């Protein structure tokens, strides 16, 4: 039996615990953490999971094996049931640097990081879905294994890769998750760009920049020449390639020839082959710069996000589930918040139509979207059918990685979207547990993609920064 498109027990869990789930998302929002250092979020996730049906939930550190780590944790894994199928519901915990902002409809910065990509909402969607699903599975005697995975380090491209090395996704039959965004809620797959990121250091020789500059070998000159080489290279790369960089160390003072300087690069492309070629060419620019400046070049590969193999049957299936679940009912106060935020950000009068302030939660399924994205959810697609659904939770005017998303992610605008997305994940997983034909169909499609082995993609050692 269903209520509002949901199994009665899933609906019952949300009716009882939605306020607690909102508080959990607010707690993570109020304690933003970067990269792999998501200790507070992991501890909050562990406490919530243990309270709501997962007494044996594991707090651990990604990349260090599936052993309890209470000293420096950054991830949580909780499991219920046994046997096949194994369905994973996946969340994210990390924030972004420099995007701290109060939960108000204007730019009111809080020093430090902020949830400018709404990962606190992703954590809440996954957590609510898993807890509601476990509640229903236990009471209805549903067979199979449910696995909740709250992951760190998506913004630095490392969290799911490290958990993959720990074997978290190896036996899954399905991995599903949701990501908020300034667009209508959609179950359509987005093509994913690949990334190879590197940190490049140059070691030179210090000298007095006025008194004896000929005695020095400038590492900053090397960084600048490397960047210039890449700028000239832009004309000669395929249109799917994108390169951006950040000088991370430019020396100590203008009057000292710097003996150390460094730069970080993100290389993006539409497939594994193009991104590898692009990264290799960037490295050769660095090698050339070192020769020109008589410095020593030290390249470090810091992360890879490989090609994302989208599973169309799984996305189509989740679309059917999503269409059954009612749209979100936002209040006049929430629309007013979005209106003020839009005007404060754009400097223009906001649209009068409500559906142009906050996106509706339902959208027709049209196949693959044109807009591309980059996410380490791609790593999961090498092990099992994977779906990364998206949209909702912020004002439509909000750009990605921005204070406007931080603001909305700390309010009921974001929380309501996370709850609805969690219901889609929970109901979708619940019905999939009893539908072996669906599991087989998703696997059959997965095998047609001719996915290379994960070890083949990660055939270059990745170093810590």
| pLDDT tens digits, one per residue of 269-301 | 999 999 999 999 999 999 999 999 999 999 999
What count of Cα atoms within 13 Å lies in the side-chain half-sphere of residue 32? Answer: 26
Residue 132 has pLDDT above 70, yes or no: yes
Q: Of 290, 306, 322, at which residue does a domain stop? A: 306
Say yes or no: 350 and 264 in one domain: no
How far are the Cα atoms of 21, 297, 321, 436 from residue 121, in angstroms, in the given order?
10, 41, 20, 30
Residue keyed to tokens 């020109």 = 292
Q: Report how far Cα 380 is from the mean position of its chain's Cα atoms.
A: 12
CA separation for the pair 456, 369 (Å, rounded): 28
Q: What are phi and psi of 88, to 5 degrees?
A: -100, 135
pLDDT at 369 > cutoff 70: no
Tell me whether residue 343 is exposed, middle or buried, using C-beta atoms within 10 angstroms of its C-beta: 0 to 12, 13 to 18, 19 or more.
middle
Would you tell me how many other CB atoms lie within 10 Å of the CB of residue 443? 18
Give, as one character, the DSSP assignment of residue 70. S
**Shared-domain flag, residues 37 and 104:** yes
Is 49 domain-assigned?
A: yes
Whether residue 242 sits in one domain with residue 339: no
Q: What is the pLDDT of residue 4?
A: 84
Is 55 found in the same domain as 148? Answer: yes
Given a cut of 80, is residue 112 above it in pLDDT? yes
CA distance 219 to 237: 27
Distance CA 409, CA 407 (A): 6
Asked if residue 463 is part of any domain, the answer here is: no
Identify whether 167 is part of a domain: yes
Is residue 66 located within the same domain as residue 154? yes
Element (H, E) at 260: strand 260-269
Claim to verify: residue 314 and residue 299 sit in the same structural domain = no
Q: In this predicted structure, what is the pLDDT of residue 456? A: 83
Mean local confidence (pLDDT), 105-127: 98
How long a stretch of residues is the chain?
Answer: 465
pTM metric for this prediction: 0.94
Phi, psi at residue 26, to the nearest 5°? -65, -40
- The reported pLDDT for the residue numbered 460 is 62
**Whether residues 246 and 295 fall in one domain:** yes
177-198 confidence digits (pLDDT tens): 999 999 899 999 988 899 999 9
Tens digit of each residue's pLDDT (9 = 90 or more) over 52-98:
999 999 999 999 999 999 999 999 999 999 999 999 999 999 999 99
Exposed / middle / buried, residue 210 (Cβ in 10 Å: 0-12, 13-18, 19+): exposed
Whether 421 maps to a domain, the answer reads yes
Contact 175, 429 (CB under 8 A): no
Q: Are 186 and 199 found together in one domain?
A: no
At which of 306, 340, 375 does a domain end? 306
Q: Phi, psi at residue 150, to the nearest 5°? A: -100, 115
Domain region containing 414: 2-191+308-456
Shared-domain flag, residues 421 and 443? yes
Same domain, yes or no: 12 and 152:
yes
User: Considering the domain boundaries, does residue 464 fall inside one?
Assistant: no
Eight-state DSSP code of residue 401: S
Q: Are 193 and 274 in contact (CB under 8 A)?
A: no
Same domain, 302 and 345: no
Domain co-membership, 344 together with 249: no
Mean pLDDT of all residues in the chain?
95
| Residue 25 neighbours by CB under 8 Å, 6+ apart | 120, 121, 123, 124, 414, 415, 418
**Is pLDDT of 361 > 90?**
no
**Domain boundary residue, one of 265, 288, 306:** 306
Count up the domains in the chain and report the number.
Answer: 2
């Amino acid at each position: 039996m269903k209520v509002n498109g949901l199994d009665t027990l899933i609906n019952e869990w949300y009716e009882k615990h939605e306020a607690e789930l909102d508080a959990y998302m607010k707690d993570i929002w109020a304690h933003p953490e970067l990269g792999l250092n998501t200790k507070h979020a992991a501890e909050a996730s562990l406490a919530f999971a243990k309270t709501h049906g997962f007494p044996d939930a594991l707090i651990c550190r990604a990349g260090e094996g599936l052993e309890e780590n209470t000293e420096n944790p950054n991830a949580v894994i909780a499991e219920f049931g046994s046997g096949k199928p194994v369905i994973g519901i996946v969340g994210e915990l990390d924030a972004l640097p420099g995007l701290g902002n109060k939960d108000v409809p204007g730019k009111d910065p809080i020093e430090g990081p902020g949830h400018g990509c709404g990962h606190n909402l992703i954590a809440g969607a996954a957590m609510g879905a898993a807890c509601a699903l476990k509640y229903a599975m236990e009471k209805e005697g549903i067979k199979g294994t449910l696995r909740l995975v709250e992951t760190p380090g998506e913004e630095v491209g490392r969290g799911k890769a490290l958990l993959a090395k720990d074997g978290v996704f190896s036996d899954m039959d399905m991995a599903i998750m949701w990501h908020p965004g300034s667009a209508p809620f959609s179950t359509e797959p987005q093509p994913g760009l690949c990334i190879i990121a590197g940190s490049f250091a140059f070691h030179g020789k210090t000298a007095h920049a006025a008194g004896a500059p000929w005695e020095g070998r400038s590492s900053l000159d090397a960084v600048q020449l490397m960047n210039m080489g890449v700028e000239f290279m832009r004309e000669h790369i395929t249109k799917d390639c994108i390169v951006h960089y950040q000088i991370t160390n430019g020396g100590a003072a203008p009057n000292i020839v710097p003996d150390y300087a460094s730069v970080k690069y993100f290389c993006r492309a539409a497939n594994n082959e193009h991104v590898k070629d692009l990264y290799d060419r960037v490295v050769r620019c660095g090698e050339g710069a070192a020769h020109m400046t008589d410095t020593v070049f030290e390249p470090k590969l810091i992360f890879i996000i490989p090609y994302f193999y989208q599973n169309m049957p799984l996305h189509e299936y989740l679309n059917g589930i999503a269409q059954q679940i009612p749209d979100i009912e936002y209040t006049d106060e929430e629309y007013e918040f979005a209106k003020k935020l839009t005007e404060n950000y754009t400097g223009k009068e906001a649209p009068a139509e409500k559906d142009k302030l906050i996106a509706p939660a339902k959208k027709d399924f049209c196949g693959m979207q044109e807009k591309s994205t980059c996410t380490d959810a791609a790593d999961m697609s090498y092990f099992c059918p994977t779906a990364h659904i998206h949209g909702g939770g912020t004002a439509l005017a909000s750009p990605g990685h921005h204070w406007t998303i931080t603001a909305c992610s700390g309010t009921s605008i974001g929380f309501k979207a996370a709850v609805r997305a969690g219901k889609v994940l929970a109901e979708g997983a619940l019905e999939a547990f009893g539908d072996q034909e669906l599991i087989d169909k998703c696997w059959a499609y997965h095998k047609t993609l001719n996915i290379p082995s994960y070890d083949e993609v990660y055939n270059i050692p990745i170093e810590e920064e």
